[in-house]
Amino acid sequence: MAPRLQLEKAAWQWAEMVKPEDITREHIELAYRVAVSACKRGTCRRNCRGNPNCLVGIGEQSWLGEIDENAFHNIDDPNSERRDKNTFVGLTNLGATCYVNTFLQVWFHNLELRRALYRFQNSRAEGHNMDSGEIKDYEPQTICEHLQYLFALLQNSNRRYIDPSGLVKALGLDTGQQQDAQEFSKLFLSLLEDTLSKQKDPNLQNVIQQQFCGQFSYVTVCNKCGRESPLPSRFYELELNIQGHKNLTECVTEFLKVTAHISVPDSSICQSWTVIIATIARAVRVNRTPVTKCFIDIFNPFAHKKKLNTFISFPEVLDMGPFLEGKEEKCMYELSAVLIHRGVSAYSGHYIAHVRDAHTNDWYKFNDEEIEKMEGKKLQLGIEEDIAETAKSQTRKPKCSKGYHCSRNAYMLVYKRQTEEIDQTETNVEVPAFLQELVDQDNKKFEEWCNEMADMRKQSVDKGKAKHEEVKELYELLPAEDGQSYEFVPLEWLKKWLDDSTAIKEIDNSQFLCSHGKLHPDNIAEVKRISSKAADLLFGRYGGISRLGQSSLCRDCVTQRCRVIRLKNQLNEDYREVMNLAKAPLESDESGFWIGKASLRSWRQLALDQLEEDEEETKPNNSKVNGERSTDGVKGDNEEGDGEEMKNFNEDILCYHGGLSIIENDRRVVSAEVWHKLRMYFPKAPEFPQNHESCQQCMRLEREGKENEALNRMMANEQKSSLLNLFQEKNRPTLQKWPQDTDVLYIVPHYFVDEWRKFIRRPAKSNPVSSVGNSILLCPHGGFMFTYDSMLQGDGQHIALLWPAEWEVISRMFLVDQVISICRIHDKTQDNGNVQYQTHPDLCRECREGFIFQQQRDMREYAQATVYVRKVIDKKRMIKESAPEFSVSGSDVEDEREEPKMDGEKDPDFSQIMHAFSVAPFDQNLSIDGRCLTDDSATLGSLGVIPESIICLKADEPIADYAAMDDVYQVCMPEEGFKGTGLLGH
């Protein structure tokens, strides 16, 4: 038995031997466990909720042990945000702007570009007087101004990372949308080139071209005379196809090779030939490489973007000399940056940059805010190659030769041209004075923030130490010694008081009060007993209501609980005695009491319920006794479950008027001895002596009911004999085979016939039908709602046809609000035997059209219905076990949730067509009745899909690699790119 249950049992063990009227103060304190020994520290692992004197494990450990200053605050050390010496500054990722951060770090480490940007004429900033403090009002506005300021912060900021939101907002980029890094690089450099071209400094005007621009020619060569027609073109980066290649040299060679031999019907292509057809070949030749930087894009550039996860080898030093036309000079480039894309899809993932420091030649990994220096002087891609792969795409990394690197995640390679002489002064870039002033201003704000955070930490620590001494002192006063006065306070309040992170509210004991306004015994587990001295200090410091002192122990609740316990213990013995006495017949002169047979069978369960109910009356929140077992389902040997519907004992012999029921089969007489024992458990039960008369009202109603029943039987027999064929559904007229011996048939609602037949079958249990309501078949204008043809179809279920003789009987026996008939009319002008049918009243065409329209609308607007999807292969239906059902609404789109599966139905992994048939949405061709369902935004109803329809699914060739499904899905979606941003001049 758990300790809590042991405490509960020990607290009430005395109740079995003490009568309720003999309860003393000692018994009350036992019930409230006042004398239970307090737990000592280290003896129990957690607080004993059943012991009000246990004050261990409520959060005191952190206050009684050694002081940990970090526990008094949740403020991080501001110095953790400070830039370490000889390290670089990171950039904050604003959501999905890692592609921006990688290129900003690459461009920042291009010293020539940084130096040129610092020379950009910023008349707005230079116009501010730095000495007068006007520089504080300066805010960058243009793209170049933002880039200037950002580079200055990256160079001289004291922060570990800075926020690029100014530049991102100026460009109008969506921070939550991942974009293509290569496209961003192209557009940004183009925008930067256009901005710098308007500067007065000629060296600044062409800096982008000098840094990044090269030239190649598209050469067209005639195969007959060898004449060449070059078309020069500039490039800022080389876009290479890596598919099918193992190293970078192969990719460049393929880019420059002769691409095709073409026959062109145009003699103007080669002026040396006058024939009509000229055969030519086309190739690409590099005329000039970039002076400083060469960007090589090694993503797949064809058609829709798709990431290729094949390994490609690239050198640390790239010789472009063999690819130059007619030049024998050395053209060596060394690797200065590698942009990495982590992820399986070209439309998602994460970008990081590996950049070599121009000062020390050390390699650094730039991952947004985090910057990591590589060990040694070599590039180490490391875990950047450990991307998630499917089992089919796993490949082993090939061995790389010395001076080479292998990668399958490299997105762009940046090579810097080697120079024979390196001027050390060129590696030092000086920040202009006005930019340095802005950086100093930001550093000052950062230092002020650091000091403010340090002060807040110190204040929190000082406050925590003072609270520590206060709590330690008060905690030692909490235990109530023997003979001292005491009070009860909530356990949860004590825990929050000892938890410094929680705001302390006033002490509230109101939730633990019983109906008598005192502490309920069942709530003793929710409070703790403390000394009055400690209680005075806590209430005086924090306030509170409903103080619970020694006088708050409730005698009434303890007395009621004692009575319930004694009755529960006595119940089994009384049950056996009552059942034995009930079997004995009464003496001839003995007077007994009426008791319900169902009540007698289930009285023990009802007694348990009644005792529980008596106990609940004293509880404020109807909570169960701690550790008490539920008595649900505990019945005696002769109980048959009647107590489940019966709430009160002996109520089964009460009539509706509160008197003794007239049904004698439901009750029996028991002796006075039995009745008095039962009254101990049910003092409020209705009591009926044996000579008590049954309810007079019920007896009068019974007599009247018998008379009405006899009248109904007579009426039913008369109507049945008069309309026997209608009752038995024999010899019924039909519209399909119109009877030859009559030209008129009468119409009544089918509902009337159904109700009339129910009455005829059970006249004593059903109410007689008194009228024929034909108006429900008419429109508001009084016209008939159905046509002859519609009654041959589905509308025939709403009506019943009568012979003229039957109508005469019905008109006599029932009240008829409107006569409806249908007549057969012979066309006497012609001998072909044409027959027409006319209803009276006539058809209301306007209402009929509205009725049909509403029917069709209801079929297309439904809240819940079943639609079937069947997969078609080679124009044949293929049903795997059973076609999946989709429970849909008429306003939902085509992909819908699946209903709970039926017998034989396959069990798809998800509730979509894609996973039910393993067919992706872009491979689905849906049709119904030969019509293609192509509008993905339309509702099922608007597409003509009604309940129980069958949609045919014809699948395109499925995609085997689910890791690439994101690429295909994105291709199906319209790609906005940088539309509407500042990169496109908007």
What are the residue numbers of the active site? 98, 350
What is the rounded CA–CA span in Å between residue 514 and residue 52? 18
Identify the helix (H) or strand (E) that includes residue 566.
Answer: helix 555-583
Residue 151 exposed, middle or buried by CB count within 10 Å (0-12, 13-18, 19+): buried
Nearest CA to 477 out of 67, 60, 71, 69 is that of 60
What is the rounded CA–CA span in Å between residue 570 and residue 566? 6
Nearest CA to 150 out of 212, 85, 185, 100 is that of 100
The alpha carbon of 637 is separated from its chain's Cα centroid by a whole number of angstroms, namely 51
3 state SS for 827-843: CCCCCCCCEEEEEECCE
Question: Coil, strand, or helix at residue 164?
Answer: coil
What's the chain's length in residues?
Answer: 986
Q: Is-contact 229 178, C-beta < 8 A?
A: no
Provide DSSP, 190-245. HHHHHHHTTSS-HHHHTHHHHHH-EEEEEEEEETTT--EEEEEEEESEEE---TT-
What is the rounded CA–CA span in Å between residue 940 and residue 933? 9
* 608-643 per-residue burial string, b: 16 or more CB within 10 A, e: under 16: bbbbbebbeebbeeeeeebeeeeeeeebeeebeebb
For residue 339, which amino acid is it? L
Question: Coil, strand, or helix at residue 644?
Answer: helix
What is the rounded CA–CA span in Å between residue 627 and residue 613? 17
Nearest CA to 339 out of 331, 348, 329, 350 is that of 350
- Tokens 């106990």 belong to residue: 615
The alpha carbon of 23 is separated from its chain's Cα centroid by a whole number of angstroms, namely 58
Question: Coil, strand, or helix at residue 984?
Answer: helix
The tokens describing 690, both together, are 């044996």
What is the rounded CA–CA span in Å between residue 76 and residue 69? 12
Tell me how crowded residue 793 is: count the other CB atoms within 10 A of its CB. 10
Q: Return the percent helix, strand and coil in the chain, to nearest 5.
A: 40, 20, 45
- Tokens 């020069």 belong to residue: 232
The tokens describing 96, both together, are 């999905």
Q: Is-contact 685 603, C-beta < 8 A?
A: no
